[in-house]
């Protein structure tokens, strides 16, 4: 007899990642256990970019874009750390 797979254990491995992108380069900015928290973080990061839009234009820095998508814990690099929201101001986005 085959034991049913617990949906709870399946969900434990899936996280929601806020992905920062500039051109073809992407990086996981932050990871959350639920989609709503990830969407809220995405909105906050987009607001930060919008607030510094003139600075970015004047300094000729590309503006990052943010998306939310599911990610597995195993897909995160071992040395991964959250990306500071304003890290793009110091050229440290990617």
Candidates 23, 54, 25, 41; CA nearest to 82 is: 41
Q: Which regions of the chain does DSSP assign to beta strands (E)?
A: 14-22, 25-32, 65-72
Write down the domain spans for the chain.
11-75
Q: What is the mean pLDDT of each run of 10 residues along the chain (94 residues)?
A: 52 83 88 95 92 82 89 89 73 54
Rounded to two decimals, the pTM is 0.76
Which H/E stretch holds residue 65?
strand 65-72
């Amino acid at each position: 007899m085959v034991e049913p797979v617990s949906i709870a254990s399946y969900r434990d491995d899936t996280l929601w990642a806020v992905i920062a992108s500039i051109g073809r380069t992407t990086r996981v900015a932050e990871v959350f256990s639920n989609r709503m928290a990830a969407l809220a973080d995405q909105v906050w990061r987009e607001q930060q970019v919008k607030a510094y839009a003139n600075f970015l234009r004047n300094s000729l820095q590309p503006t990052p874009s943010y998306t939310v998508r599911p990610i597995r814990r195993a897909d995160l690099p071992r040395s991964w750390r959250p990306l500071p929201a304003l890290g793009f101001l110091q050229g440290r986005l990617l």
